[in-house]
A and B are shown apart, each in its own frame.
Chain A
Amino acid sequence: MSDNAHTSPAVATHPALQHHFDDMEQQREASSLGMWVFLMTEVMFFGGLFLGYLVYRTSYPGAFAAGSMTLNVTLGAINTAVLIGSSFTMAMAVWSAQMGKRGLLMMFLVLTMVLGTAFLGIKAVEYHEKWETHHVPGKYFQFHEKVPGTDVPADPRNAQIFFFLYFGMTGMHALHMIIGMGIMTYLLITAYQGKYGPDYHTPVENGGLYWHFVDIVWIFLFPLLYLIAHRGGH
């Protein structure tokens, strides 16, 4: 951590400079660090859910495998590709902002939102499928599958824990996507107003960090939820 001696009052003030910062550099560094610290909080938040997953998958491997088998791997894989694609467009949006290319920035933001919406749409189709097969935890939950590779029926009570975690984790992830869409909308409007350029683009960068974080969560969720019963050429 270098010494933060910001003593350059002579620098012409940028309209986006807030009163309590000395200069744009200090403001940018503060916002960026703030975002990283926030993401650490997010890691710990999702960490609680991953811990729950770890404990119950270890306790009930059969029921978890049976539950995992009922998920639609094709749709999950498509969604993974969609989301990785949206990370690419987001990265391009940040680059466009840094280069001061307003038109490109807006285009990539729109593309990111389109891909994000596609993800949520596919997710909704999957949720609907689960609803129809009574795999939503709660009063109407039913589960009649067998543990993969055996003739033993999976314990519905334990399978329900799998589905609870499935909905909890993907639901929390989807909620973050929806918040991300809100951030994209804000960035799009402010980009339209011409607020970003080579000397000021911190909000786009921070929005990008957030979006990549949400993607990374999915990169972990996809194999843990969809692929655990598909090992060994099953």
Chain B
Amino acid sequence: MGPLIPNGLIPTEWNFIIALIIGFFFGFILEASGFSSSRKLMGVFYGYDFAVLKVFFTAAAVSVIGLYYMDYLNWLDISKLYVHPTYLWAAIIGGVIMGIGFLAGGFCPGTSLTAVAIGKIDGIVYTIGLMLGIFIFSEFFPIIEPFFLKSYLGHITLADSFGISPYWIIFIFTIIAVVAFYFADIIRNRVKKVFY
């Protein structure tokens, strides 16, 4: 049956409208759970608040388990879902830059926009920097393109690169998530409380 749009159950034209609605609620929930505060986001790095880790780990675990159950029950064809292509070294370097930016600026791209929405000045500055970064990257792309494309691995997933069943990966991932939550709580209890 699913995915609904590639299988023609919903016309392709609805793509952007649905994306807009989902994006609206995504932003709303990010804001409502306090993710527009850079102090809360930074808690992960200083050990006083692990909400970010928990939220994104839980979101990934719940959705991947749900999707694979739907695939098992034939409600959804998992092979039709979009898998982002992997450019290994480009992703590693991009990840490092993003991490530094996250740590220095206190936001990740999505949360910076929720901060802009509620009128936070640091969020506005961060977003301007984000746009500037995108501009610089785009302008210099012809120079870095050979390097960018060199480590292209295609639309692969962990299951492809390790050669084990995706079910096992999901199970291991869930265990890692639960263990991470457990240790996150231990760390948080040991670190001095920060009020923000």
Q: Is B a genuine binding partner of A?
A: no
